[in-house]
Amino acid sequence: MKTVSENRSFGGMQGVYSHESSACSCEMTFGLFLPEEARHVPVPVLWYLSGLTCTHDNAMTKAGAQAWAAQEGIALVFPDTSPRGEGVANDDAYDLGQGAGFYVNATQAPWAPHFRMWDYIAEELPALIGSEFAIDMDRQAITGHSMGGHGALTLAMTLKDRFVSASAFAPIANPTQSDWGTKQLGAYLGDDRAAWQKHDSSLLMIEHGFDGPVLVDQGTSDQFLDLLKPETLAEAMVKRRQDGVFRMQKGYDHSYFFISTFMEEHVAFHAEHLYA
């Protein structure tokens, strides 16, 4: 693992690190914020998964999460959204290929050799940060935005004993029925739609839900509402009688202005359960 940068932030340290990933067969970069408490004891961790076109840097610099994480004494992990570099497959479209890994393990050419983001987020990166930093891996929570909200919710509902709480900002909520999903899942996983279903948070919610609490925020003026399909997830939460809150926030769009507005509440939500 290499240190790319480290900057003092709200009494803690915001670092950027790179490493050779066996899951993605390339060099991967991630951001990690450690609060001051991590100098003395292992601290709980909140994962933030970013959306289409993003790198580790977007949320790290735009979401305003470090101040609230420092206040609560929790670490933040900002992974990249896909493998990158020479020899890694890509597409001219912004919503496929590099920057658009969709948090799945690709099985189809040309994506399969590198696009194994599920294994990277679920297994490889947790093992790395758990061994290299003062993080209590028995206390984890997860959140994300858009494509990252999709990833956060599907990981939380699949890895049943991993996360104590889950939240999302404007998640892609029903990708098996949306152009933000059918295109990517078809490209990465092939034509067998049964393989897509385990990556659809609305279907997973109906099937088995999440054992902890869930918080979802969605802006009413989001320009991508028809692609996100928030109503499908809200209906699934009600049908499942999920412990959670789904909030439609009047006038907010899909941008980081929306995310930063409600980030304090999301961090506090997770901290409550991480320290329960």
- Proportion of the chain in helix, strand, coil states, percent, rounded to 5: 40, 25, 35
The residues, any chain, with a CB within 8 Å of residue 269's CB and separated by 6 or more, are 165, 167, 213, 215
Active site residue 208: no
Task: Choose the catalytic residue: 21, 202, 222, 270.
Answer: 222
Query: What are the CB-based long-range contacts (under 8 Å, 24+) for 224-227?
Result: 224/146, 224/170, 224/180, 224/254, 227/172, 227/178, 227/179, 227/180
Which tokens belong to 32? 């990690």
Task: Choose the catalytic residue: 146, 167, 178, 202.
Answer: 146
Cross-strand partners of 43: 135
* Contact (Cβ atoms closer than 8 angstroms) between residue 167 and residue 161: no
Active site residue 146: yes
CA angle 211, 104, 258 (to 5 degrees): 70
Active site residue 92: no
Task: Choose the catalytic residue: 145, 254, 266, 270.
Answer: 254
Enumerate the active-site residues.
146, 222, 254
